[in-house]
Every structure is written in structure tokens, then in C-alpha cells.
Chain A
Amino acid sequence: MKNVLLTGCSRGVGLVITKVLVSKGYTVYGISRNLSNEYKNLMNSFPKKIKFKSFDLSNVNDINKEVFKNYIPNSTKLHAYINNAAIAYDDIITNLNVDRLENMFKVNVFSPLNIVKYAIRNMIFNRNSGHIIHLSSISVHTGYKGLAMYAASKGALEAFSKNTAREWGERGIKSNCIVAGFMETDMSSTLGDDMKNRIFKRTSLKKPTDLNSVANTIEFIISGNAKSITGQNIHVDSGTI
């Protein structure tokens, strides 16, 4: 039985990742602040395979106790941690608000880094060559007006992931980023049609990124079929140019 810790399970990409992983036999330990109806329905369909814990990732210091000791102790052998939860703070740089910036970095960066700390500890305790996957964004590689602060938080994850791969490769632990293009979820729902069209024009396929292709790429990376892939940024972005 392969256990996966997935943050941001309640909506958007996280919900699709949950469906794909469960269909492949994984057990999903989901985390988000709210239990959505969709996730609740999934739990009812697969009661043994889908777990849920409500936790607010802005509480960086409670990770060890709440996420690990009380939810995923060492006796639960962790196969993968998928860092999917995130918030987007969208504004131009001259409007930067430090409190909002700090909160975004707590959720997008500080908590995920702290979770990686304990995920690796679980993996070395269990002598398990596990996986760490971060959801990054194409905005790190192709600038967009209004996304500088958000992109900075994702760039931090990409740097951390590369170094995690280097540091822990010797123990078989792998770390990769999925660099997603624009997807139709709540996160992007505030963008106007004009902005969306400009984003699509910069892709080869002229389409939003398909959530299933993101979820299935993640499943491929953590399956036994991609053992030699680590330290990579894998673009799933409709060919953004």
C-alpha cells in the first residue's frame, strides 16, 4: 500500500490528483482547510483509500505535531509528498503588501519546506526511497504582469527541489517540480477573458493546461516507471513559449 500526502486536496488540481491516485491504488492523505463536497463524496466512495485532515498551512510551526505525529506518524510509511496547495497573490509590484506577501510565503513556501523536512524523516525512518513533488508554475519561467510575488514563491520551490534531489539522492529520495501552465480552476477564476486570451496566445496549443495531464504526469513520476527522474522541472503547460 503506497501512502501519499497531498496538500490542497479539496478543489482544483488536488481533487483531480486524488482521483487519479486512488484509481491507481494509492492511499491519499489529503490536507486542506475545508472539506469540500466533492472530496467528501470521494471519501465515501473509497473510505479506506482517502483520508482527510483540516489544516491551515499558514501555521508553519504546527506541522510536526498536526501533520505528522497526529496524522502521518512514522508507522505510516510515506511514499510521496505532493505539495499542491498554494495561494496566488496577484498585484503589481508597486502595490506589494508585506502582510499578504508573508502569508503567501508561509502557505506556498515555508510550510512545504517544513513538510519536506518531516517527510524525509519519515522516509529515512522507513528506509523508503520516496518522492517529493512540488507544483510550480510557468510564471517562474515566462513573466506575467501581476504575478511577480507569486512567481517568486514558486521559484523558491524549484530551487529547493533541485537541492533536495542533490542532497538526498544518495538515500534514494527523489524531488521534482511539475511546472504547470494556466489551468481553469478557482485560482485563475479572477482573471478576465482578455488576460486569459493573452495567456493562451503564448502557448503552442492555444489552450489551457488539462488538469488530468498534470495529475497523470505526477502519477507517472511517483510510479516505479520513472525511477531515474529527479531534480527536474517537468513542464506540463500546453507548450508555453
Chain B
Amino acid sequence: MNNKDKLLTIINEVLEGTQREKMSKIKDEYNLRLDIGFDSFDLAELTVRIEEVFDIDIFEDGIVETIEQILIKINEK
């Protein structure tokens, strides 16, 4: 599984936790709030789940708004 697929799995875990429909794919330009519909609690859960898998806290230094920005942080690690 590449990092983008792993990220999709994590996003779906967050969506499932609140009984929302899973996504079949994500695009780099997707905005986490506007396109995926995450609120600040979802983003907190997303951060925790990403940290568990990739050992990186995506919100530690600055704001992350899109899938691409997350992937850059993960790949930089």
C-alpha cells in the first residue's frame, strides 16, 4: 500500500467512527474541511491516527488544509 492509500484508509476510519459514508478515492487537491467535511474534532482524530501509523504530528507546526499538504509531510519524514 502506498502512503496515499494508507491515508485513504485512515480517513475512512474517521468517517466510519461517526457513521458517515466511506470514500472510494481521494485527490491531492481535496480540502479536508470543504471536500471531505471534517470538523475540528475529526481533524484531531485524523492527526492521532496519522501519528500512530507514520509517527508524525501533522498539525504540530502550522495549518494543514489539503490531502497534498499531508502527503508532503508524510513523505518528508
B49 to chain A, nearest CB (A): 7
Does the CB pair B52–A125 fall under 8 Å?
yes
Residues of B within 8 A of A125 (CB): 45, 48-49, 52
Give Cα A74–Cα B53 distance, bound, in whole angstroms.
11
Task: Report the Cα distance A160→B17, complex, angstroms.
Answer: 27
Nearest B residue (CB) for A170: B41
Asked if A74 contacts B52 (CB within 8 A), the reply is yes
**A171 CB–B CB distance under 8 Å:** yes
- Whether B44 sits at the interface, judged by CB under 8 Å, is yes
Is residue A100 contacting chain B, with contact meaning CB distance below 8 A?
Answer: no
A118-170 residues at the B interface, CB under 8 angstroms: 120-121, 124-125, 127, 170
On chain A, which size bracket covers the interface? Answer: under 10
Q: By DSSP majority rule, is chain A's interface helix, strand, loop, or mixed?
A: helix
Q: Is the CB of A74 within 8 A of B41?
A: no
Q: Complex formed: what's the CA distance from A40 to B44 in Å?
A: 37
B38 to chain A: closest CB distance in Å? 13
Contact between chains at B48 and A127 (CB < 8 Å)? no
Would you give the 0/1 interface string for A69-110, flagging 1 where the beta carbon is closer than 8 Å to chain B?
A: 000001000000000000000000000000000000000000
A127 engages B52 (CB within 8 Å): no
CA–CA, A55 and B47, complex, Å? 26
A170-B52 Cα distance, complex, nearest whole Å = 23
Given A121-B44, A121-B48, A125-B45: 15 more A-B contacts, CB < 8 Å: A74-B48, A74-B52, A120-B44, A121-B47, A121-B51, A124-B41, A124-B44, A124-B45, A124-B48, A125-B48, A125-B49, A125-B52, A127-B17, A170-B41, A171-B41
State the 6 A-B residue pairs at the shortest beta-carbon distance, nearest first.
A121-B48, A125-B48, A124-B45, A74-B52, A124-B48, A124-B44
Interface residues of A (CB under 8 A from B): 74, 120-121, 124-125, 127, 170-171
